[in-house]
C-alpha cells in the first residue's frame, strides 16, 4: 500500500529508533506513523511536517497543490497538551495558500470528539481534517485519495 520514504539519512537500524516514521504512498500521500507514545514522537512529527512543507514550497507554483497526510496513531494517544502546543507552533510557521488534507487514525475513540474540537484551534482555514477509528485505516486513505 505504501512505499517507505524515510527522509533521514540514518542507517536502517537507527530508523527503528525513530518515534515517528515518514513514508509516502505511490500516489503521494504522506504517511506519518508513530512508533511510540512520547514527546519525541510529536517533535519528530512536527519536523516531518515542516520538511514536507518545505518540499511543497520548492515545487513549481503552476497550480495550488494539496498535501495529503495520514497520521497513524494506532499505537495510542499522544500527550494532548504537548501535541496541541507543537502543532500550533508548527502551523504558525506555515505561510502561503497551499492546502492540506489530514486524516488521523486513532485507537482511542473517546479522544476523537475532544481532538476534533481542539484541532479547530490549530488548523488553518484552507485545510481539511478528519479523524478515523483504527479499523477505518483504509477509509482514511480513500478519503485522502478523493481529493477534489
71-112 pLDDT per residue, tens: 999 998 888 889 888 988 988 887 767 788 889 998 876 565
What mean pLDDT comes out for the span 42-56? Answer: 92
Query: Among residues 42, 34, 37, 36, which one has the least CA distance to residue 86?
Result: 42
pTM for the full model? 0.79
Grid cell digits, residue 10: 540514518
Give the per-residue pLDDT at 116. 58
Q: Give pLDDT tens digits for 114-136.
A: 565 555 555 555 678 888 999 99
Lowest mean pLDDT among 4-8, 11-15, 47-51, 102-106: 4-8
Q: Would you give the end-to-end CA distance of the chain in angstroms?
A: 21
Check whether domain 28-55+64-145 has CATH 3.40.1010, yes or no: no
Of 50, 94, 96, the C-alpha closest to 69 is 50
Query: Please, are residues 21 and 32 in contact by the beta-carbon 8 Å criterion?
Result: yes
Amino acid at each position: 500500500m505504501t512505499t517507505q520514504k524515510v527522509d533521514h539519512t540514518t542507517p536502517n537500524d537507527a530508523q527503528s529508533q525513530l518515534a515517528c516514521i515518514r513514508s509516502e504512498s505511490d500516489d503521494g500521500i504522506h504517511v506519518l506513523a508513530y512508533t511510540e507514545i512520547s514527546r519525541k514522537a510529536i517533535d519528530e512529527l512536527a519536523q516531518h511536517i515542516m520538511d514536507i512543507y518545505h518540499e511543497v514550497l520548492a515545487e513549481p507554483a503552476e497550480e495550488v497543490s494539496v498535501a495529503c497526510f495520514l497520521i497513524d496513531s494506532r499505537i495510542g494517544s499522544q500527550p494532548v497538551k504537548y501535541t496541541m502546543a507543537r502543532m500550533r507552533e508548527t502551523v504558525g510557521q506555515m505561510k502561503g495558500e497551499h492546502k492540506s488534507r489530514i486524516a488521523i487514525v486513532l485507537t482511542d475513540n473517546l479522544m476523537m470528539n475532544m481532538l476534533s474540537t481542539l484541532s479547530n484551534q490549530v488548523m488553518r482555514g484552507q485545510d481539511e481534517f478528519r479523524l478515523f477509528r483504527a479499523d477505518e485505516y483504509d477509509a482514511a486513505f480513500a478519503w485522502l485519495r478523493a481529493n477534489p
